[in-house]
Amino acid sequence: MASIPFDQRDGVIWYNGRLCPWAETKIHVLSHGLHYASSVFEGERVYGGTVYKLREHTERLIYSANVLGFSLPYSADQIDAAHAEVLAASGITDGYVRPVAWRGSEMMGVSAQQNSIHLAIAAWEWPSYFSPEARMAGIRLRISDWRRPDPRTAPVHAKAAGLYMICTLSKHKAESEGYHDALMLDWRGQVAEATGANIFLLIDGKLHTPKPDCFLDGITRRTVIGLARARGLEVIERAILPEEFAQADEVFLTGTAAEVTPVGEIGPYKFTPGQVCQAMIADYDAEVRRPVATPSTAAVA
């Protein structure tokens, strides 16, 4: 089924404080965010009507904006309340939420000290990032020619739109060669992350994952580390070289969109998704669907 273009859907988008008809929610072509990538965003999932770890996402959005030198004109409480408005108006119980903040149009040049800051929040129904068949088989990753930058080169811990240029370049190249996604090394040649997800390797019964010193320390990554340790699995955060894929028995990706996605192939290296992939998929699934106590139910308990 051809998907409906994202600017032509029905529904509402929360835009600068109010709900607007989806197809009419537009920005001016001379927006700083568009020309100079002064834009930050979040990717969130709704499970059973609740955004998983909403406050962590909201805090990261505020942090990312601050790293890019601007402040959102809304508090974390207001942003969370705006999410509730969008979800109530759209009736989405299982889907994806995309808050995005950017500099507007008052100044058009590298300097944009006077520009207003805008915030929009859209939500839509969204199934698994990768198809169920691809997940079961383990997805195929191409090792990208592009690398994650040195933290002295770019604000690597912000979820900033500009950093995704490298991801799109990498993913397009991978897809053009029949892969599902790309695995990016960092500026030193160490394993970094996929284009929208972090990576874990099972070596000798222990989970190894790169230290997030020049890429996003994913909320899912941190959740999965906690779940793995709760299962008694040792998790080691360290520098990992691509040659070490030869020793890995299982590999999986983690991310809000990807959830836990087994990997079957990275360049010349092959893996068979096994018990640890299955266990982490099951644990993550149970975790995100765990009922969350609301203030009223908590008061009764």
Ligand X SMILES: Cc1ncc(COP(=O)(O)O)c(C=O)c1O
Catalytic residue positions, numbered: 159
Nearest to 203 by CA among 143, 246, 265: 246
Q: Which is nearer to ligand X, 112 or 219 (CB)?
A: 219
Question: Which position among 50, 58, 115, 256 is part of the footprint of ligand X (CB under 6 A)?
Answer: 256
* 221 forms part of the interface with ligand X (CB under 6 A): yes
Residues in contact with ligand X, shown as a per-residue x/- string from 173 to 202 under the rule CB under 6 A = --------------------x--xxx----
Site for ligand X in 23-62 (CB under 6 A): 43
Quote the CA–CA distance of 133 and 141 in Å, as a whole number: 16
Q: Tell me the DSSP string of 223-291.
A: HHHHHHHHTT--EEEE---GGGGGG-SEEEEEETTTEEEEEEEETTEE----HHHHHHHHHHHHHHTSP
Q: How far is the CB of 255 from ligand X (least distance, A)?
A: 4
Contact partners, residue 273, CB within 8 Å, separation at least 6: 136, 137, 138, 250, 252, 262, 263, 264
* 219 forms part of the interface with ligand X (CB under 6 A): yes
Position of minimal CB gap to ligand X: 218
Question: Which position among 72, 82, 160, 216 is part of the footprint of ligand X (CB under 6 A)?
Answer: 216
Quote the CA–CA distance of 94 and 47 in Å, as a whole number: 5
Q: Which is nearer to ligand X, 212 or 242 (CB)?
A: 212
Phi, psi of 280 (to 5 degrees): -75, -35
**Which span sits near ligand X by CB under 6 A: 15-23, 116-124, 238-246, 248-256?**
248-256
Q: By CB under 6 A, name the binding residues for ligand X.
A: 43, 167, 193, 196-198, 215-216, 218-221, 254-256
